[in-house]
């Protein structure tokens, strides 16, 4: 798949996930086969006003390239300024978030709220494109609700405004993450635009991703929640069944966190990631609790390394 001048080695991409797609997890997913990863969403205001927490999110290393950083906001001028700042980073693509369903984002007119204001959304894309030489992509949903399924019209406007590719999550804002993603919307958008279309929603395995491509004709797939505790999702072999088989990748995740993240400040996030690796393993409650109660990253390392009782899946 080609997005502007960026050529991806395969159609599998890690979606932006607030609180999860930090540098360590992005590197791990790249090692497991993801062709590209997208950062957590970055506030355009935080970037333009130089807020420390926002600037810390810009950390990247050559090993994760190609990489996309995602911006969110609803002011075209500020989004343009933020795009100019992002363009100084060693990244390949700027993605614009127009799909986040979180209420505090929606209240400010950002995320999925922009699907109700396509004129402003188009102005944002134009402003970002005018302030960067990098390809610009847009991630959005099938619509605001079932009465307003405007993804096709919205996609055409994004293309006209200069987007090099679009990603569609096959759910409306009102659905949030409930119900099933509607793949027919992705297929319909693909028929109506000439730029690459990336499908998103309910991809829990490598096979699910291939099926979406075959059923919708989309050019690539973006995997979000299906990757949590399961970076094997980018690999045809999939996630192994036993704890012993999962340990090496969990330990690798912890190593990358130790190398690249302020682990003391975000220990709760690292625990959250680690516990998800135990999904589907019968009797893992004890280890799950031990990880949750751990006082440091070193303690989590020790727990994983020396917990030898192998537990079969259900």
Distance CA 18, CA 6 (A): 24
Neighbours of 300 (CB within 10 A): 24
Displacement of CA 237 from its chain's centroid (Å): 22
Distance CA 224, CA 170 (A): 13
Give the angle 72-78-84 at the CA atoms, nearest 5°. 90
Which residue in the block uniquely carries the two structure tokens 């072999």? 237
- Across 227-237, b (16+ Cβ under 10 Å) vs e yields bbbbbbbbeee
**Catalytic site residue from 29, 37, 44, 100:** 100
Beta strand residue intervals within the chain, DSSP E: 2-3, 6-7, 12-14, 36-43, 67-72, 93-98, 136-143, 165-172, 197-200, 220-223
3-state SS of 169-204 is EEEECCCCCCCCCCHHHHHHHHHHCCCCEEEECCCC
Residue 29 is a catalytic residue = no
- Across 147-167, b (16+ Cβ under 10 Å) vs e yields eebbbbebbbbbbebbbbbbb
Among the listed residues 144, 143, 125, the one whose alpha carbon sits nearest the alpha carbon of residue 135:
125
* Virtual torsion, Cα 148, 152, 156, 158, nearest 10 deg: 60
Catalytic amino acids? 100
């Amino acid at each position: 798949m080609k997005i502007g001048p960026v050529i991806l080695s395969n159609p599998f991409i890690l979606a932006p996930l607030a609180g999860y797609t930090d540098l360590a997890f992005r590197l791990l997913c790249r090692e497991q086969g993801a062709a590209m990863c997208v950062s957590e969403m970055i506030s355009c205001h935080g970037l333009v006003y130089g807020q420390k927490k926002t600037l810390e999110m810009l950390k990247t290393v050559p090993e994760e390239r190609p990489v996309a950083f995602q911006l969110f906001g609803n002011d075209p001028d500020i989004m343009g300024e933020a795009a100019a700042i992002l363009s100084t980073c060693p990244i390949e693509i700027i993605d614009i978030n127009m799909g986040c369903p979180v209420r505090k984002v929606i209240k400010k007119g950002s995320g999925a709220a922009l699907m109700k204001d396509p004129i402003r959304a188009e102005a944002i894309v134009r402003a970002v494109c005018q302030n960067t030489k990098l390809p610009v992509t847009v991630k959005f949903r099938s619509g605001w609700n079932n009465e307003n399924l405007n993804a096709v019209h919205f996609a055409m406007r994004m293309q006209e405004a200069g987007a090099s590719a679009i990603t569609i999550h096959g759910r409306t804002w009102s659905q949030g993450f409930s119900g099933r993603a509607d793949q027919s919307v992705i297929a319909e958008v693909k028929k109506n635009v000439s730029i690459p279309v990336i499908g998103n929603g309910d991809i829990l395995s490598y096979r699910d991703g291939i099926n979406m491509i075959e059923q919708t004709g989309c050019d690539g797939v973006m995997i979000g929640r299906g990757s949590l505790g399961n970076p094997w999702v980018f690999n045809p072999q999939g996630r192994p069944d036993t704890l012993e088989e999962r340990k090496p990748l969990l330990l690798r995740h912890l190593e990358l966190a130790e190398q690249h993240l302020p682990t003391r400040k975000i220990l709760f996030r690292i625990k959250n990631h680690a516990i998800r690796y135990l999904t589907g393993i019968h009797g893992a409650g004890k280890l799950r609790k031990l990880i949750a109660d751990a006082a440091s990253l070193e303690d989590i390392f020790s727990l994983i390394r020396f917990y030898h009782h192998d537990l079969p899946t259900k």
